[in-house]
Amino acid sequence: MRIGRSETASRSTSSSPGRSGSSAQAAQYPGAERCRRKFLKSFPGGFRDATYLEWERDYKVEAHKRWQSALPEERFRELIGEGRYEDIAATAVRVEQQTRHAMLFSFEKMALRDAVRTRPGAKTFAEGLFQYLHGAEELPVRFERWVAAVEALPRRQTRVLTWPLVTVFGFLAQPEAHFFLKPNVTRIAAQKYGYPLQYASRPSWAVYEDMLRFAAVVRRDLRDLKPRDMIDVQSFLWVQGSDEYA
């Protein structure tokens, strides 16, 4: 998910992977094989392609590692217990901002910074995010409560409740489980794949659950390429929907 790349994506130091993943199951989605071909045209070595790692995966893995170092569950729990909400919010914002390529739009970054500038805003954000990532409730409950927390954040000029802002921290913290939803690119990718994604602009569990189903379909259809986590799935879909790979 890089911005402003002018190079072509045909280079690779890896050999092209096999095609055993083009299964009868994938055929139920009419664009699945075409999307696979487009990805492998850009990255012949698949998810282990050296150029793929450089352009799409490594910087996201680096961001995840920064999150693990800065806000592992036990440290996050300690900070909550000590009431250090501002520190939690500042750390989360910093991890996202240090990502080598932008994940949030500038207006989303600004809205979030403004929202957590006060202690009440930071408290709402920190407690909501902790429960989302580490709470005991089932994921549907945790996700809806996280959406409610983001919606309750103080707002100045720009809205805080966007799909990228709601999903980026789960993706950074737990990329094995959570998808980072960029609406325009993901909707284009779903259309090209032939998956009827049930999208709505307001974040909700119903839409996110369908997104997770779509991600599971893609992961199943590409199983011979051995996608490791949602980073690989999200990157695959980014290739389908982004103008960078037109």
Percent of the chain surpassing pLDDT 70: 89
Per-residue pLDDT band at 14 (split at 50, 70, 90):
very low
Task: With CA atoms as reference, report the closest residue to 221 among 61, 56, 60, 37.
Answer: 37
Distance CA 83, CA 89 (A): 12
DSSP assigned state of 202: S
Token pair 């051995």: residue: 226
Phi, psi values for residue 18, rounded to 5°? -70, 175
Separation in Å, CA 163 to CA 9, 46, 202: 28, 28, 7
pLDDT at residue number 7: 37
Task: With CA atoms as reference, report the closest residue to 76 among 145, 136, 134.
Answer: 134
79 CB-near residues (< 8 Å, 6+ apart)? 71, 85, 87, 88, 126
- The pTM of this model reads 0.89
User: Out of 7-16, 178-187, 230-239, which region has the weakest mean confidence (pLDDT)?
Assistant: 7-16
Biggest CA-to-CA distance, the chain: 54
Helices (H), the chain: 32-42, 50-52, 58-70, 73-81, 85-97, 106-115, 119-134, 139-152, 163-173, 183-193, 205-221, 230-241
Q: Per residue in 94-144, pLDDT tens? A: 999 999 898 999 999 999 999 999 999 999 999 999 999 999 999 999 999
Task: With CA atoms as reference, report the closest residue to 144 among 231, 230, 77, 209.
Answer: 209
